[in-house]
Structure 1
């Protein structure tokens, strides 16, 4: 019973639509009606401002981290089940939220939170990739897509050299592949806009792909 309750709690934790609720309660704006229509941190930044965006980012990140910590907490102390299962449920909750008519965000921050709770050094590598791509191309979407591909590359290559990941962990690799796939699927429309040079840009960086759309 403890396992079932913890799994359900992980999903519900991930389902908290922080951007949607903050937008409605504090700014009286429905994020579904502004910008990309997404309720994640990126659209919150663009629609509600930097402070709200940072708050939503931190909450979404911590949803993944706290979910990973659930089976090790004093509330449950569950043995024999990987904490990554709970993290994955939080990611699914974030993208298919029961509190938002089974809609949600693009899973970048929450996936990062899962990795932060399980393998923080690997997250640092992904963060470096994210920041480099952001500076070069001025697109959060492309940075997220690149980090997803970098995660797949990392789990395939790093253990062979005992760099960051000391050994191959098939279950961690599976979870990384699933989370990366979710991120890539959720960014399909962004990929189309990038191809058409119409993707939204942050107000800094080099915009090396020469996108035309600016916020």
Structure 2
């Protein structure tokens, strides 16, 4: 791959990740900046909390698509003959990570974004759908049991490299395992405040059932 094409694809992955869906959707449809309410985080979870389930679902899906699209750029390069099969996984991981970095540090809103969980989900769906679906199942079960999104996110992220390591879907792929544990560390770092609140017993719970009320201006 030429240096020019490499720079263009890296920039494209970052800009995709940088799309501040929660901020733009909240301001565009509700006249509300989610960063000024709830936890102050520009992510899907705070959108659920501030604007309701419908808005939160839309934002989450957009963030998933961001990660999936950026990661799939590697497949596009492969089918174009720009990269080889042995390089495919490496570039998928690279583009996905760049998209997550873009989500956490988005250029469009002064580099203050969300925590990247939904974008990470889109990334792993593009890399290994089966492992991703198992991780989603762990997320859902943990959320149903605890009502903590942060705890569910951390355990689901950890499950990805662990399941890969033990070879649930065939021979373990070292690069995938290393990637998974690096992402787990990143998720822990971006959830430090949540972990402290979990340990202190005052982390926010989510209401899974019943009507959610959005803030209105």
C-alpha contact (below 8 Å) 2:125/2:132 kept by paired residues: yes
Structure 1 contact 13–93 (Cα < 8 Å) conserved: yes
Q: Aligned-residue CA RMSD in angstroms?
A: 1.8
> For residues 183 and 109 of structure 2, what CA distance do their matches in structure 1 show?
20
Count of equivalent residues: 200
| Residues 67-112 of structure 1: CA deviation (Å, up to 9, x unaligned) | 1111322799331442221111101111111112111111111111
Whole-angstrom distance in 2 between the partners of 1:69 and 1:55: 21
Corresponding residue for residue 134 of structure 2: 125
Structure 2 matches for 1:123-202, cutoff 5 A? 123-157=132-166, 159=167, 163-164=168-169, 166-202=170-206
Contact 2:26/2:34 (8 A) holds in 1: yes
Which ranges in structure 1 are unaligned for 5 or more consecutive residues?
Answer: 206-215
- The ranges of structure 1 where at least 4 consecutive aligned residues each deviate by more than 2 angstroms after the TM superposition are 71-78
Deviation string, structure 1 residues 34-78 (Cα, Å, up to 9, x no partner): 011111110000101111101100000011110111132279933
2:52 corresponds, among 31, 49, 52, to 49
Return the structure number with greater relative CO, CA threshold 8 A, min gap 6: 2
The 2-side partners of 1:169 and 1:125 are apart by 17
In structure 2, stretches of 5+ residues that fail to align are 210-217
> Are 2:147 and 2:206, in contact at CA under 8 Å, matched by a contact in 1?
yes
Residue equivalent to 1:3 = 6
